[in-house]
Chains A and B, each alone.
Chain A
C-alpha cells in the first residue's frame, strides 16, 4: 500500500453528450449493513449499458474476502455466509481490477448515494485512493420520467411495476442487471419525452426532485 494517498480525477461526461452516445457502468453492491461509515462491501456487480442494450460479456462480479461478524438478518438478505466470504477474492487485487473495469465511465446505481459512499470508502481503505465517483441515480431518473408513480421507493417496486422478473435477487451482479434493465427503460422513456442530452436529463431530474421536496 502506498504511503501517500492518491487523488483520482474522474469527471462526469460533458453535459451536451447525447444520451445515445453514452455507455454507463451500472453498479450494485451487497454490504454488511447500511452504515456507510462502518459497514463493508461484501460483493460487487457491474454491467455496461447503453441505449442499445446491456452487453453481457462486459460485466464484473466478485464476492470479497471479508472477515467480519454478520448479523443474521443481513445474511438472509444477500445470502452470503461467512464461509462463502472466506472463499472470496482478495480485496486489494479485486478493487484494482474493479477500478480498471469501471474507470472513466459514467456510473449508475439504484439509490446511488449509498453505493457511492460505500465504494469511495472501500477504494480509500484498499487502494489508498481518493476520488469522487460520478454516479447518477436510476431511482431519480425513474421518479422524474414516470412522475405518476411517485409512491415507488425500492428496486422491487419498479421491477414489479414493469413486470421484470429475475430470480436470485439480492446478489450484487443480479441486482446490477435489474438496475441496468430499469436504466434501459428510463433512457428510452427519456428519448420518448424528447430529452436528448445528459444535461436535459439531469435538468428534468433536478426539477422533479425540487417538486418532490415541495410536496413533502
Chain B
C-alpha cells in the first residue's frame, strides 16, 4: 500500500467506525474517494438536492446541519460535526434526499465517495453497517425511509403525512358570533386575509363555518341580504378533527366529505382551521381534487381517464414517506369512489329502481388492501320479493354493465368470474345466508377456498345493513366452530413464505421470470393467518392490519409480535407497490413477481426478515390449532 494511502488511513483510523474496519476495506474506500474542498458557507447537501448520491467524511473543518420545520421558520441547528465525522448515513441507507441542510462553517475538506462505494462497504463490513444503522432503532425501521427511494420530487421530508395539524395551522382561527351580520363577517375575513370564518357561541364551541365559496353562492342569490345574520348562511356542524390528528387524516377526511376546510378541536373548542390549500401546498398531493372529480365524473370514459391519477398519487405518496397501509387505504378510497360513480352512472341508464340492492366487494377490496394491480371481486345482495330469480334476471344486465364499466376503468374482469354479473354472486339476503352456512357445514376444499375469498366482505355501495344480520349470525357460528377454524388454518398454512434452508430465497418460474410472488407467497401468509384468527375470535374487521391490531387488543397476540408482523407485512406490501409503479412507469404490465437479485442488498435482507416474520406467524397459527 502506498505511503499517501497509509497516511490517510492513519487519519480516518482515529475515528469510529473506521477504527473498527480493516485496512483492506479502508484502502478500498479511500482509493475511491475524491478529496474535495468546500469554503466556509458552502451548502454541501440540502433536501432540494434530491436523492443523495455521495458519502462524505470530514477530513478537516466544520459542518453545521440545519432543519427547517416550516418554510417561514428560522432554521434550527441540529448538529455541528468536525473531523472524522461522516454524513448523511440515514439518507444514504434510506436512498432518499437528506432532511438536513449541511453547510460548512469553516473552510472544509471532505473525502467524498459515490453511493455505490458506500453500498459496497455497507455489505462488506459489519462494523461499518452497524455504525450506519445505529440510531435507526431496528432494521425494519429503515424500511420506511428506504422505500421513499423512487422520490422523483425534490423532497423536503418535513412535509410528511404524519405532520400534526397543529403545526400546520399557523394562526388562531378567525371567529365571530352567530348574530354577526354577513357583511361584517366577510369584512373580518378580508382584513385577516383568510378564506374561512368559524361561527361560535359564547362557549367558543363552533356552530358553523363560512367560506369564500359560500360567499360566492349567497352573492349570486338575490334573496339574501348581506345585513342578515351569518348563522343563516353558514354551513352547520362543521367537520372537526382533534388537534393531534395528522395531515394524512385531514386529507382523508376532506376526500371523504368533499370539504375544503376542517376545524381543529381541543376540548370541543376550535383552535385552528386547516384548509385544503394548507395541506396541498404542502404535499402537492391533490387527493381531494381527484376524489371530487371522480365522484362527479359525467361519464365512464371520464372516470376511466382519472385512473392514471391514482398511480401518480401513489407514487407521490411513496415519495412522501407514506406507509403501505396509508397507500392501501387511499387507493381503496379512490377505488370506492370510482366504483360508486360507475354504479350511479349505470343506474341512470337502467330502470331497476324498484329493486333494493347493495354492491359487495370481496378479497383485497373487501379488506381495503387494494394496490394498483386490481381485478374485480364483487357481488350483489338484493332485497327480494317473492321470487328471487325474477329479481336476479332483472339485475343481471345492470350487473354486467357495471362490471364492464369497471373494466373500462382498469379493474380487470375477474378470470375466476367472481363478479356480480355471475348469477351465483347475485343473491338475495336469505340466499347469501344459506350459501355461507353451507361453507361451514360442508368443509370441502372448494368451500374452504371460498371462505377465504367471501369472508373478506364489505358493502362498497348501497345500504350497509343488508347483510348485517347474516354476517352476525355467520360470524357467531364461525367463532364456535373450532373444527372449521382448524381446517381454515390448515389451508392458510399451505402457502409458505419462500424461504429455504439457510434463509435463501426460493424462487419459482412464471412467465419466463424466476422470482418470488410477493402477493401469493409474501402477503398471503399474513392475510390468511390474520383471517383465521380474527374469525375465530369474533373480530369483525376485514383489513389484515386491523385484524392483527384487533387480535392484539383482544389479548390473543402479544404487542411486540404484532408490531413486527405489521412492519413485515407493510414492507412486503410497499415493495410490491413500488414494483408495480416501476412497471407502470416503464409501460410494462404490473406483476407481483419480483426477482430477488434485482433488489438491492438491503432490500433483500429486510425481505428475508419479513418472510421470517411470516414463518413465525404461521408457527403461532399452527401451534394454536396443534397442526
Contact = CB atoms under 8 A, between A and B. Distances in A.
Contact of B37 (A53, A56, A59): A53
A185 B4 contact: no
Interface string A38-56: 0000000101000011111
Contact of A177 (B4, B31, B36, B60): B4
Contacts of B30: 56
Contacts of B37: 53, 181, 184-185, 188
Residue among B2, B11, B31 with the highest chain A CB neighbour number at 10 A: B2
Interface residues on A, range: 20 to 34
Given A56-B35, A188-B37, A61 B4 contact: yes
Given A53-B36, A57-B32, A181-B35, A163 B60 contact: yes
B308 interface: no
Contacts of B11: 167
A57 B60 contact: no
A61 B2 contact: yes
A109 interface: no
A41 B8 CA distance: 24
Contacts of B36: 52-54, 184
A176 B7 CA distance: 13
A55 B34 contact: yes
A177 B35 CA distance: 10
B231 interface: no
B112 interface: yes
Interface string A55-82: 1110101000000000000000000000
Interface string B123-163: 00000000000000000000000000000000000000000
B205 to A, nearest CB: 61
B191 interface: no
A165 B31 contact: no
A55 B31 CA distance: 9
B33 interface: yes
B109 interface: yes
B107 A173 contact: no
Nearest to A171: B3
B4 A59 contact: yes
B229 interface: no
B111 to A, nearest CB: 8
B10 interface: yes
B39 interface: yes
B594 to A, nearest CB: 36
Interface string B1-35: 01111111011000000000000000000111111
A184 B34 CA distance: 12
Contacts of B4: 45, 47, 56, 59, 61, 171, 173-174, 176-177
Interface of A: 45, 47, 52-57, 59, 61, 162-168, 171, 173-174, 176-177, 180-181, 184-185, 188-189, 192
24 contacts: A47-B4, A53-B34, A53-B112, A54-B34, A54-B35, A56-B30, A56-B35, A56-B111, A61-B3, A162-B107, A163-B60, A166-B7, A168-B6, A168-B10, A171-B3, A171-B4, A174-B3, A174-B4, A174-B7, A177-B7, A184-B36, A184-B37, A188-B37, A192-B39
In order of increasing CB-CB distance, the 4 nearest A-B pairs are: A53-B36, A184-B37, A173-B4, A53-B34
